[in-house]
Amino acid sequence: MPAPSSAFKRLLFLSIGLAGLVAAVYAPVRHYEFVTFDDYAFIVDNPQVTAGLTTESVRWAFAHAYDAAGGPLTWLSHMLDVAIFGMAPGSHHLQSVLLHAVNTVLVLLVLAGMTGAIWRSAFVAALFAVHPLHVESVAWISERKDVLAAMFWLLTMWAYVRYVRRPDLLRYGVVALMLTLGLLAKPMVGTLPVILLLLDVWPLERGKPQRPGRADWRALVIEKIPLLAIAAGFLTWTLVAQRGIGAVVSLEALSLPARLANALTSLLAYIQKLIWPSGLAVFYPFPRDPSIWLPMAGASLLLGVSLLAWRLRVGRAHVLVGWLWYVVTLIPVIGLVQVGSHAMADRFTYLPAIGLFLIVAWEGPELLSKVFRSRHVSVAAGLALVLAFAVVARRQVGYWQTS
């Protein structure tokens, strides 16, 4: 048997370290309770969930998909927890933490596999592991759909990379299957086919003739049509289900200009909270007297960064891909189709934040090296940032202890 390569050993140790980092931040949740913010309505007082995995409960999960806690796979996840652990809330919490740890390791492995940049991929994964904005998705049992859907999102990317390197119908089928499972957990995964097209730009560089798996752009778009059709079907199913329970806010209640203004404001607010995560809340209401300046600033940011990223597309395509990853994955939850009464939510950044983390990981070291003329400065800055976020996230986790 050949000895493991140095890259394999490095990835193994980094994976263990990242899993330990997640455990250090989220360990207290094993003593936490269910909270009255949806946990009782979705799980504790839901007879279908508390029955565990039965034929009737599985049938119910598909019949009531997307009208509350998430897709049918999310319901089945909660039912499986009950079947194995009963109604002990700490065990339900730990399943979400375990999924978050798996996702963190997948971020490392998928990015390193695509780019070959192990340390930069590890930095993205570390930011993903400990960012305080992600606490809501992990420490809130009712938000299991985020961590579950993200796992299948990342597995879809992994399957797609394998397909690109050796295209065949079976590997494409695995991509479609992982995408479908993700959509069965949460419809926000519906933007993933567009992200796969972005990955064709960078880091896979499939449009370049010297690259393996090369294809012209028309063929690359056509290749995504079956995946887009699957996503469109699930998004339609979700919209119908949400309308059926009255969760979709009408244009009379919230006008299109108000939605657009809130979307632009949220785009800006999420970036601010990703950089400086303070004033985090479980609910952000619409402002009673909204300012025109924040939407204008959001629109200026969207236009300005998009133009800059487009100009950098040759040679620094990671900027364009990272920025569009952030914007595109936010579209389903940015409020253009308003579901519920919140203006924004921390949990909505769970997947979109990866795009901005990519930009930081690929641009930050180069910028710091130019300024300080030392590679060690960027390493120290990266470790300090991860540590700072971990400390704040650990504190944020504490807010979810009880109702």
269-297 per-position pLDDT tens digit:
999 999 999 999 999 988 777 788 989 99
Provide the token pair at 344: 């924004």
Please tell me the distance from the alpha carbon of residue 22 to that of residue 179, in angstroms, as a whole number.
25
Query: Which residue do the tokens 């730009």 mark?
Result: 201
Q: How confident is the model at residue 237 (pLDDT cuts 50, 70, 90)?
A: confident
Handedness of CA 186, 235, 286, 269 (dihedral sign): positive
Residue 129 pLDDT exceeds 60: yes
Provide the token pair at 33: 């309770």
Q: What's the Cα-to-Cα distance from 85 to each of 9, 89, 91, 133, 172, rounded to whole Å?
A: 35, 9, 6, 28, 36
Q: What's the Cα-to-Cα distance from 88 to each of 45, 76, 95, 122, 140, rounded to whole Å?
A: 14, 17, 12, 34, 14
Strand partners of residue 284: 344
Q: Which of 282, 306, 284, 286 is nearest to 295 (CA)?
A: 286
Q: What's the Cα-to-Cα distance from 29 to each of 90, 190, 283, rounded to whole Å?
A: 6, 30, 21
Handedness of CA 385, 265, 189, 88 (dihedral sign): positive
Instruction: Give domain status of residue 18, yes or no.
Output: yes
Instruction: Give domain status of residue 1, yes or no.
Output: no
The dihedrals phi and psi of 178, each to the nearest 5 degrees, come to -65, -40
Instruction: Give domain status of residue 236, yes or no.
Output: yes
Average pLDDT score over residue span 327-347? 83
Residue 208 pLDDT exceeds 80: no
53 SS3 class: coil
Please tell me the distance from the alpha carbon of residue 240 to that of residue 107, in angstroms, as a whole number.
32
CB neighbour burial string for 10-37, b if at least 16 within 10 angstroms, e if fewer? ebeebbeebbebbeebbeebeebebbeb
Higher pLDDT residue, 332 or 40?
40
pTM of the model: 0.94
Please tell me the distance from the alpha carbon of residue 74 to that of residue 145, in angstroms, as a whole number.
5
CB neighbour burial string for 123-139, b if at least 16 within 10 angstroms, e if fewer? bbbbbbbbbbbbbbbbb
Find the radius of gyration of the CA atoms of the chain.
21
Q: How confident is the model at residue 339 (pLDDT cuts 50, 70, 90)?
A: low
Average pLDDT score over residue span 76-103? 97
The helix (H) or strand (E) run that includes residue 285 is strand 284-285
CB neighbour burial string for 142-168, b if at least 16 within 10 angstroms, e if fewer? bbbbbbbbbbbbbbbbbbbbebbeeee
Residue type at position 367 = L
Instruction: Give domain status of residue 391, yes or no.
Output: yes
pLDDT at 342: 79
Instruction: Give domain status of residue 121, yes or no.
Output: yes
Residue 340 pLDDT exceeds 80: no
The dihedrals phi and psi of 401, each to the nearest 5 degrees, come to -65, -45
Please tell me the distance from the alpha carbon of residue 277 to that of residue 268, in angstroms, as a whole number.
13
Instruction: Give domain status of residue 292, yes or no.
Output: yes
Q: Please confirm whether the linkage preceding 287 is cis (ω < 30° from 0).
A: no
pLDDT at 154: 98
Higher pLDDT residue, 342 or 222?
222
Q: How many domains does the chain have?
A: 1
Please tell me the distance from the alpha carbon of residue 157 to that of residue 97, in angstroms, as a whole number.
21
pLDDT at 337: 67
Which domain range does residue 70 map to?
6-400
Q: Percent of the chain beyond pLDDT 90? A: 75
Strand partners of residue 344: 284
